[in-house]
Structure 1
Amino acid sequence: MLENFSISSIIAGSVVVFSLAILAYFGWKTLITSDLFQKGINLAQAKDYEGAEAAFRQVISLNSTNDVVRLFLGDVLNKQGEVEEAIALYREVISRSPKNPDAYLRLANVLIQQQQPEEAKTNLLQAKDLLQKQRQPEKAQKIANLLEQINAKS
């Protein structure tokens, strides 16, 4: 009986230690990721786009599911003239998170710069619809106004 209690205690203690180790690991990883993300934002604001790109790529290597970082990386790549790679990142985010209006907006912005107004309008319409569904009517109205301006120029 005492022997079973000792084995149970050892197993329970091992599970607790293992669980705490996992929590510590994820806490550390989250802290590192957060610091790198903030570093990337600061570097981008300082117009150090290469440094920002490196920081954002590190964040993605640590957390491959973070679409917000992909959007910022796309912005930085666009600023560096890497337009095709930026477009690919925005499309990847749209494919992964089709209800993310920011991805459609960023893609539309680059497409306007690339003289592709029809595809830009399609993405703006999608963003507007999503913002309306997400109960953000002010942002949706701004996009509607932008669409009117684009249509007036056409």
Structure 2
Amino acid sequence: MLEDLQITNIFAIGLVVVSISLLGYFSVKTLITSNSFQQGIKLYQAKDYQGAEAAFRKVIAINSTNDVVRLLLGDLLNNQGKTDEAKELFTQVINRSPKNADAYLRLANILLLQEKQEEALKNLEQSKALFQKQRQPEKAQTIAKIIQQVTTKTK
């Protein structure tokens, strides 16, 4: 009976130690991610695009599910003329989060730059529909105007 109690206590202590260790690990990971993200934003604002790119890539390496950072990195790459890399990032976000209206909008922008109006219009329509579902009518109206402009230019 005493032996069973000791085994139970040892098991409970081990479980607590493992839980605290995991909590510590995830806290440090979150802190590093947050610091790298903030550093990337500051570098981007200071127009240190290479530094910002490195910081954003570090965040993605630590937290591969962070779609906001993927969108920011895609914007950064697009502004640097690395449209194929940006397009790939936006496509990854769409594949992972098909309800991310911003990803469709950013991909449409690149497609317009590549003069792929038909594909761009599909992405603009998808973005508009998602913004409407997300109760963001102002954004949906803005995209509707862009769709009208693109449609007028292609005729």
Between 1:126-135 and 1:115-124, the stretch displaced more is 115-124
How far the C-alpha of 1:46 sits from its partner, in A, is 1.6
**Matched residues in 2 for 1:47 and 1:110: separation?**
21
The 8 Å contact of residues 94 and 104 in structure 1, kept in 2 or not, is answered as yes
How far the C-alpha of 1:79 sits from its partner, in A, is 1.6
Q: Describe how 1:1-150 pairs up with structure 2 within 5 A.
A: 1-150=1-150
**1:92-120 superposed Cα distances (whole Å, 9 cap, x missing partner):** 11111111001001111112222222221
**Matched residues in 2 for 1:108 and 1:115: separation?**
10
Gaps of 5+ in 2: none
* Secondary structure, counterpart of 2:19 in structure 1: helix
Gaps of 5+ in 1: none
**1:18-51 superposed Cα distances (whole Å, 9 cap, x missing partner):** 1011011101101110111111111112211111
Count of residue pairs the alignment pairs up = 154
Q: What letter matches 2:79 in structure 1?
A: K
**Matched residues in 2 for 1:107 and 1:4: separation?**
62
The 8 Å contact of residues 49 and 79 in structure 1, kept in 2 or not, is answered as no
Q: What letter matches 1:126 in structure 2?
A: Q
Please, what is the CA RMSD of the aligned residues?
A: 1.1
If the length of structure 2 is used for normalisation, what is the TM-score?
Answer: 0.94
